Amino acid sequence: MKHAVIFAHPRPRSFTGSVADAYAEAAARQGHQVLVRDLYRMNFDPALPEAELPFAGTFDPRPDIVAERRLLSDVNVFALVYPFWLNAPPAMLKGYLDRVFGYGFAYGRDGRSEPLLQGRSLITFSSSGAPLHRVRETRAFDAVGKLFDAYFAELCGLTFLEHMHFGAIVPHIREDAVAAKLASVKETVKKHFGRPQ
């Protein structure tokens, strides 16, 4: 099984980066292949150009998108890892989904919105400075879940597995609290992708 860990944070040694590392380590420990896509270190361009609009005349994805789609062509599990900024994923991640998972790769054939990634899975890990109960009270968690989990998975034909959110992630969070959260990431990977005993 092959996993693509797609994470978006400008600081690689952030909590988000640690979650991505924990996921990758746990998947590798289960004997799976892992492809890490660190969007900021890749200098990924999130701006969707006119040529990549599917029905704007000539559909012509740029070389970086063609190459990225080729890298992801045999991935079984897409793991999105990101922080909530203004109660939503970073623009960098949204742009990646717009461009890479757009028409011709994740959905669309013969002018229709046919899902193209059936038989593959989506799992999500997010974090916020606000505690989880506050993110739920504002309905941000539900909104993100509908758009970036349920709708995105349905559009692409992915099986949605789980959205794990970590609230109250602040700069002075204790090391033991971080370790416990990272352990829960590893347990989640084992739960979904562990080898039967």
Q: What residues contact 99, with CB distance under 8 A and at least 6 apart?
A: 45, 46, 48, 52, 61, 65
Mean model confidence pLDDT for the chain = 94
Mean pLDDT of 119-143: 96
Which tokens belong to 165?
Answer: 């959110």
pLDDT score of 84 more than 70 = yes
pLDDT score of 112 more than 80 = no
What band does 108 get if pLDDT is binned at 50, 70 and 90?
confident
Euclidean distance between the first and final Cα of the chain, in Å?
Answer: 17
- CA gap 142, 172 in Å, rounded: 27
What band does 10 get if pLDDT is binned at 50, 70 and 90?
very high
For 71, the domain range is 2-193
pLDDT score of 63 more than 60 = yes
Structural domains counted in the chain: 1
> How much of the chain is in helix, strand and coil states, percent to nearest 5?
40, 20, 35
Region of residue 43 (phi > 0: left; psi between -120 and 50: alpha; otherwise: beta): left
What band does 47 get if pLDDT is binned at 50, 70 and 90?
very high
Q: What is the pLDDT of residue 53?
A: 86
Q: Are strands 107-109 and 112-115 parallel, antiparallel or unpaired?
A: antiparallel
CATH number at residue 122: 3.40.50.360
